[in-house]
């Protein structure tokens, strides 16, 4: 296996003595040869199998010539939008264009198109009419069947049809892409590769499709959103590699999209192999002049210890992509990578993270999963921990202890999310104690998301009482070890099920806590999540019951403002929300009030007086004079934030 970066230009390809690559990997991200980037893993995997692989990062989609850099590959084009869905990469939840792109040279925005997989595949097909195209990555994976597209507010067809690709490799694609490569190399036509787990194909009839579950047709989905909710839940119940059925989505009498069952999870040995390839662990030198690729900063000195998540949050697409079965790397593999980090001249002694989708999951939730799969209609942790759930942090604690002892490592942080309900289900407090003692630096980020149980139920999150119990235990352990460390809760506004009543309840909780979040995430309806299905259909696909969905931009702004009610800029929105909800009892001078009433003359007075006016109720009002005003402003900014 040749060391060094894979070719990203014809010259680099020819320098290797190649006249034609076997595969050309087209990516919406710049080329970073690090295992946190999907294009690096797939290309290194194919290289390890003996294939010649070139990478075409961020081709200019406005020029057909850009796709011709390496000529026609011998076997296929592989196409991915990158580590993120291109629309999430480009737009905020308010559909405003983002200013920077962390996956592009220098963070410059505009290096990839909207709906990148469709655009890249169409561009290839204009030039190479018959060359196989295999789409993969998060964008193709989560749009593999008909899906609601938030940015166009429409129900879109399978991306397989709009892109003109021949196959989709969905989920974590190591197994499926290796099987497809082997079939193509053996001379099999791409049209005949319809049987590989972890792929989606299109067929003209169902004569060769074994034991399928027929979903509602695309036309039926468009006619009735309830049909889409039912179809989506069928898909959700078939995301397990052991029990998942083959799904068929009809588009006409002669066009069917077939989703084969998910690929089987990797063994620990296979996971270790994936992370042992000769990655350069940085961006290609071609980006040096632009300042490199910002996205690597957070992951360069982080360790991926697991894949999959049995947490089952409604707003998360992991069930559809990585699946719910935990796959882990061995201690030896992780220690080898950590020791390699210490030899990097940029390493300062700090491992930034040891985790994955959920850091403190290091084993399947129960023994039967590795042979029978996960339960299709039951969750491991929600609404309460399953009686069969095996809770243990012992392996994770052992791993962290070993990493702390690696020469050259000063501190090991845990920055991936931890499931606090899983922590609370563990009768042994060793992990939480060592987390506070060694792996937190002043603040621990957790994700209660909300405090109103009706909203938490829709989110698939534990009841608020579980989070409150965790808060008490966290504070108690920190007192015992003599540390002052805080919790930083991630909160979400405008999730399906959240009315102004629940939004106000959240603001009252923050008032009592004495904090104001600096950042709040509005619910973002990304493809293939239960929450997005609720947003589009108005029902919960799990029980088909109606769900209140805040869609009006102004109402969403009010819900967001209520979380940051102390911000003077949000006064009018907070006041309007309280009036609309009939909660004017929260406007006044009592310490339980959110805001103070505005006096008529305040509208005509200066900004300084208005800042004073907006000060939270019960904080005390300074009187006349510049000195008094400065103290008022200072007190506001001194208010504890998170």
Q: Is the dihedral of CA 264, 267, 269, 275 positive or negative?
A: positive
Would you give the distance in Å from CA 551 to the centre of its chain?
A: 22
C-alpha pair distances (Å), 629 with each of 483, 595, 620, 624, 635: 35, 18, 12, 7, 10
Residue 30 burial by Cβ neighbours in a 10 Å radius (0-12, 13-18, 19+): buried
Q: What are the backbone angles phi and psi of residue 419, rounded to the nearest 5°?
A: -85, 105
The answer on whether 366 is annotated among ligand-binding residues is: no
- H helix intervals, 297-377: 318-321, 331-342, 369-372
Q: What are the backbone angles phi and psi of residue 460, rounded to the nearest 5°?
A: 75, 25
Please check whether residue 1 is in contact with residue 53, taking contact to mean a CB–CB distance below 8 angstroms. Answer: no
H or E segment and range at residue 420: helix 420-425
Helix (H, G, I), strand (E, B) or coil at 379: coil
For residue 107, give every residue at least 6 positions away whose Cβ sits within 8 Å of its Cβ, in sequence order, or none. Answer: 100, 101, 291, 294
CA distance 422 to 436: 16
For residue 345, give every residue at least 6 positions away whose Cβ sits within 8 Å of its Cβ, in sequence order, or none. Answer: none
> Which residue reads 């909203």 in tokens?
455
CA distance 582 to 576: 10
Helix (H, G, I), strand (E, B) or coil at 31: coil
Radius of gyration of the chain (CA): 26
Pair type for strands 167-169 and 199-203: antiparallel
Q: What is the DSSP code (8-state) at residue 518? A: S
Triad 104, 106, 109: Cα angle to 5°: 50
CA distance 415 to 2: 34
CB count, 10 Å around CB of 280? 16
For residue 20, give every residue at least 6 positions away whose Cβ sits within 8 Å of its Cβ, in sequence order, or none. Answer: 52, 70, 71, 72, 73, 74
Residue 407 burial by Cβ neighbours in a 10 Å radius (0-12, 13-18, 19+): exposed
Q: Is the dihedral of CA 284, 289, 290, 291 positive or negative?
A: positive
CA distance 570 to 45: 51
For residue 532, give every residue at least 6 positions away whose Cβ sits within 8 Å of its Cβ, in sequence order, or none. Answer: 148, 150, 315, 525, 526
CA distance 204 to 132: 18
CA distance 560 to 283: 37
Q: What are the backbone angles phi and psi of residue 115, rounded to the nearest 5°?
A: 50, 55
Triad 84, 88, 92: Cα angle to 5°: 145
Would you give the distance in Å from CA 163 to the centre of its chain?
A: 23
HSE (side-chain half, CA atoms, 13 Å) at 258: 24
Q: Which residues belong to the annotated binding site for [4Fe-4S] cluster?
A: 309, 313, 316
Q: Which residues belong to the annotated binding site?
A: 309, 313, 316
């Amino acid at each position: 296996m040749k060391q060094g970066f894979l070719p990203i230009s014809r010259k680099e390809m020819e320098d290797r003595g190649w006249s034609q690559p076997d595969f050309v990997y087209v990516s919406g991200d710049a080329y970073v040869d690090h295992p946190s980037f999907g294009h690096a893993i797939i290309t290194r995997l194919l290289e390890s199998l003996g294939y010649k692989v070139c990478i075409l990062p961020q081709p200019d989609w406005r020029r057909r010539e850009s796709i011709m850099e390496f000529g026609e590959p011998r076997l296929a084009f592989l196409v991915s939008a990158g580590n993120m869905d291109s629309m999430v990469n480009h737009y905020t939840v308010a559909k405003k264009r983002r200013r920077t792109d962390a996956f592009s040279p220098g963070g410059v925005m505009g290096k990839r198109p909207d709906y990148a997989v469709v655009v890249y595949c169409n561009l290839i097909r204009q030039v190479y009419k018959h060359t196989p195209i295999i789409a993969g990555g998060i964008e193709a994976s989560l749009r593999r069947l008909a899906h609601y597209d938030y940015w166009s507010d429409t129900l879109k067809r399978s991306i397989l049809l709009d892109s003109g690709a021949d196959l989709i490799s969905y989920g974590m694609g190591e197994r499926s892409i290796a099987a497809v490569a082997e079939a193509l190399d053996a001379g099999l036509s791409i049209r005949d590769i319809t049987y590989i787990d972890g792929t989606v194909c299109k067929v003209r009839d169902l004569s060769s499709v074994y034991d399928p579950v027929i979903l509602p047709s695309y036309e039926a989905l468009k006619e009735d959103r309830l049909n889409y909710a039912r179809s989506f839940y069928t898909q959700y119940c078939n995301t397990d590699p052991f029990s998942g059925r083959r799904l068929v989505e009809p588009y006409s009498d002669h066009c069917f999209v077939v989703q084969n069952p998910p690929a089987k999870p990797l063994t620990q040995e296979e996971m270790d192999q994936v992370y042992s390839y000769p990655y350069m662990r940085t961006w290609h030198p071609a980006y040096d002049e632009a300042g490199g690729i910002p996205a690597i900063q957070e992951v360069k000195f982080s360790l991926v210890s697991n894949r999959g998540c049995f947490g089952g949050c409604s707003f998360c697409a992991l069930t559809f992509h990585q699946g719910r079965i935990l796959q882990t790397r061995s201690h030896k593999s992780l220690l080898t990578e950590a020791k390699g980090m210490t030899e990097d001249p940029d390493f300062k002694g700090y491992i930034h993270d040891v985790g994955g989708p959920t850091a403190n999951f290091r084993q399947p939730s129960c023994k039967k999963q590795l042979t029978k799969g996960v339960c299709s209609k039951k969750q491991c942790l929600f609404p309460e921990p399953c009686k069969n759930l095996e809770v243990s942090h012992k392996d994770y604690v052992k791993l962290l202890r070993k990493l702390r002892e690696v020469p050259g490592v000063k501190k090991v942080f845990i920055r991936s999310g931890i499931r606090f309900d899983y922590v609370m289900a563990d009768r042994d407090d060793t992990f939480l104690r060592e987390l506070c003692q060694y792996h937190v630096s002043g603040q621990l980020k957790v994700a209660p998301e909300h405090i109103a149980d009706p909203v938490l139920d829709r989110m698939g999150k534990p009841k608020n009482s579980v989070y409150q119990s965790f808060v008490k235990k966290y504070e108690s352990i920190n007192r015992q070890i003599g540390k002052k460390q805080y919790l930083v809760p991630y909160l979400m506004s405008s999730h399906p099920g959240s009315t102004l009543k629940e939004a106000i309840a959240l603001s009252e909780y923050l008032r009592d806590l004495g904090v104001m979040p600096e950042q709040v995430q509005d619910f973002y309806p990304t493809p293939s999540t239960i929450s997005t299905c609720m947003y589009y259909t108005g029902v919960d696909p799990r029980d088909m019951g109606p769900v209140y969905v805040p869609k009006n931009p102004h109402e969403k702004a009010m819900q967001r403002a209520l979380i940051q009610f102390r911000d003077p800029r949000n006064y009018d929105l907070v006041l309007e929300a309280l009036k609309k909800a009939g909660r004017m009892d929260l406007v006044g001078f009592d310490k339980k009030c959110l805001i103070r009433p505005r006096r008529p003359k305040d509208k005509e007075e200066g900004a300084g007086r208005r800042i004073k006016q907006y000060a939270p109720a019960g904080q005390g009002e300074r009187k006349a004079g510049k000195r008094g005003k400065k103290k008022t402003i200072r007190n506001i900014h001194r208010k504890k934030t998170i």
